[in-house]
Amino acid sequence: MRTSLFLKVIVEHDEKETPEKLGAELCRQLERNYVVREAELSSFSTVEE
Protein backbone atom coordinates (compact mmCIF):
# COMPACT_ATOMS: atom_id res chain seq x y z
CA MET A 1 0.00 0.00 0.00
CA ARG A 2 1.21 3.50 -0.78
CA THR A 3 -0.21 6.68 0.78
CA SER A 4 0.50 10.34 0.01
CA LEU A 5 0.62 12.58 3.07
CA PHE A 6 0.44 16.36 2.76
CA LEU A 7 2.00 18.27 5.65
CA LYS A 8 2.16 21.92 6.56
CA VAL A 9 5.38 22.84 8.37
CA ILE A 10 6.06 26.29 9.81
CA VAL A 11 9.67 27.06 10.67
CA GLU A 12 11.44 30.09 12.06
CA HIS A 13 14.82 30.63 10.45
CA ASP A 14 17.61 33.08 9.95
CA GLU A 15 17.34 35.36 6.92
CA LYS A 16 20.52 33.73 5.54
CA GLU A 17 18.73 30.38 5.19
CA THR A 18 16.56 30.03 2.12
CA PRO A 19 13.18 28.24 2.19
CA GLU A 20 14.38 25.96 -0.62
CA LYS A 21 17.41 24.88 1.39
CA LEU A 22 15.31 24.26 4.51
CA GLY A 23 12.78 22.27 2.48
CA ALA A 24 15.49 20.18 0.87
CA GLU A 25 16.97 19.35 4.26
CA LEU A 26 13.57 18.39 5.69
CA CYS A 27 12.95 16.11 2.69
CA ARG A 28 16.37 14.53 3.08
CA GLN A 29 15.74 13.85 6.77
CA LEU A 30 12.32 12.31 6.06
CA GLU A 31 13.74 10.04 3.38
CA ARG A 32 16.65 9.00 5.59
CA ASN A 33 14.99 8.61 8.99
CA TYR A 34 11.46 7.50 8.19
CA VAL A 35 11.95 5.26 5.14
CA VAL A 36 9.99 7.75 3.04
CA ARG A 37 10.04 6.69 -0.60
CA GLU A 38 9.98 10.26 -1.95
CA ALA A 39 9.64 13.75 -0.45
CA GLU A 40 9.53 17.08 -2.24
CA LEU A 41 8.97 20.75 -1.50
CA SER A 42 6.01 21.74 -3.66
CA SER A 43 5.64 25.36 -2.54
CA PHE A 44 6.35 27.81 0.24
CA SER A 45 5.14 31.18 1.44
CA THR A 46 7.05 33.67 3.54
CA VAL A 47 5.29 35.55 6.33
CA GLU A 48 6.69 38.93 7.31
CA GLU A 49 6.36 39.72 11.01
pLDDT at 8 over 90: no
- Whole-angstrom distance, CA of residue 20 vs CA of residue 23: 5
Instruction: Give, in order, the Cα–Cα distances in Å from 13 to each of 17, 22, 24, 49.
Output: 7, 9, 14, 12
Q: What is the pLDDT of residue 23?
A: 92
Interval 12-41 mean pLDDT = 91
- Whole-angstrom distance, CA of residue 46 vs CA of residue 48: 6
* Whole-number average pLDDT of the chain: 88
**pTM exceeds 0.75, yes or no:** yes
